[in-house]
Amino acid sequence: ANDVDLGNDEMFVEDPRGFNCILDRMVEDLKVWGVQIHLQTKVQMVHYKPGNVKVVAQDGTTGLISEYKTDAVVSTVSLGVLQSKSIKFLPPFPKWKIDAIGQLAMFNFAKVFCKFETKFWPDKDQLVFVVGDEKKGYYPLWMKYRSTFESQHLFMCYLGGAEARRVECLTTEQIANEVEELFRRAFEHTLSNGQDPTTCFRPSSVAVTDWSNNPMFHGSYSVYPVGAFADVPFSDLTKGLNGVEGHEEDVANRETLYFAGEAFDDKFNGWVQGAYMSGERVAKKILERQ
């Protein structure tokens, strides 16, 4: 969440369960209704027409191809996947839908987690800006975990844009080398007695996100470039399709292919709650048409 729209009482959540706990709860609710979830299954083609949709998918473990037929489908793949055209939609999207999808761009945002044997950073602030290199965006903003992982000596860095993509392409060893040198220049003069400057700045382990290289996402989240939706209505992005040519107003009553996800929320795009809210809206729309 962000502090402008939903308050800033708790800006950072350090729940060790992560977002998995939310998904696990959703899965439990779905199991009550007998809903099947197919993991490690990649959608290859979606054939949609009025009143009928066929989805062709491949099992990532066995390689077997399966077909699923239904009255309606909700596409929640990322904007990056839609723009990459890695899923074949039949019929192809009409021009007005392609233009709407092209209004947004995928942003590269990375997190680098470093674990250290000893703590050498200041205790007072949760966010620490490190200026140790003239290169723009070079590991600039770090966040320390003050509660749940305090004893683990974890430090997390936020990276964006081209620098995020660069770091996500490095090995963990290369990242450790860069971080060690950065912190040595920034903190060596602040070490207390007994801390060894030759070892304390070296991360004992490194983990990094990989959104930009992941073919299931092609980036971290959607952003609005300058001029986005200046000549194209946002409703064209969220509007569903039924395989019939045209841009009629009554198409909403006959949609068979719907779209949801963070990119399809005009208020909270880029945020988890945007993805949740857009999915909830589409689900209600489908239920109301029954």
Radius of gyration of the CA atoms of the chain, in A = 23
pLDDT of residue 187: 85
Say which residues have a Cβ less than 8 Å from residue 134's Cβ, sequence separation at least 6. none
Say which residues have a Cβ less than 8 Å from residue 217's Cβ, sequence separation at least 6. 78, 80, 81, 106, 211
The CATH classification of domain 3-105+224-288, taken from the options 3.40.30.10, 3.20.20.100, 3.50.50.60, 3.90.1280.10: 3.50.50.60
Say which DSSP state 50 is in. T
128 - beta bridge partners?
Answer: 142
Each of the 290 residues of the chain gets a pLDDT tens digit; together they read: 555 566 555 556 667 788 888 889 999 999 999 999 999 999 999 999 998 999 999 999 999 999 999 999 999 999 999 999 999 999 999 999 999 999 999 999 999 999 998 888 777 766 788 776 677 889 988 888 765 666 678 889 999 999 999 999 999 999 999 999 999 988 888 787 777 877 899 999 999 999 999 999 999 999 999 999 999 999 999 999 998 866 554 555 579 999 999 999 999 999 999 999 999 999 999 998 86
CA angle 195, 201, 206 (to 5 degrees): 135
Consecutive H or E run containing 105: strand 105-107
Provide the residue ranges of all domains of the chain, joining segments of one domain with +.
Answer: 3-105+224-288, 109-208
List, in sequence order, the alpha helices (H) in 129-266. 161-168, 172-187, 235-238
Within 10 A of 33 (CB to CB), how many other CB atoms are there?
6
Q: Which CATH architecture has domain 109-208?
A: Alpha-Beta Complex (3.90)
Structure tokens at 285: 């729309």
Per the CB < 8 A criterion, the answer to whether 253 and 289 are in contact is yes
Q: How far apart are the first and last CA of the chain?
A: 33
- CA-CA distance, 279 to 260, in Å (whole number)? 5
Instruction: Report the Cα 261 to chain-centroid distance in Å.
Output: 10
| Domain 3-105+224-288 and domain 109-208 have a common topology | no
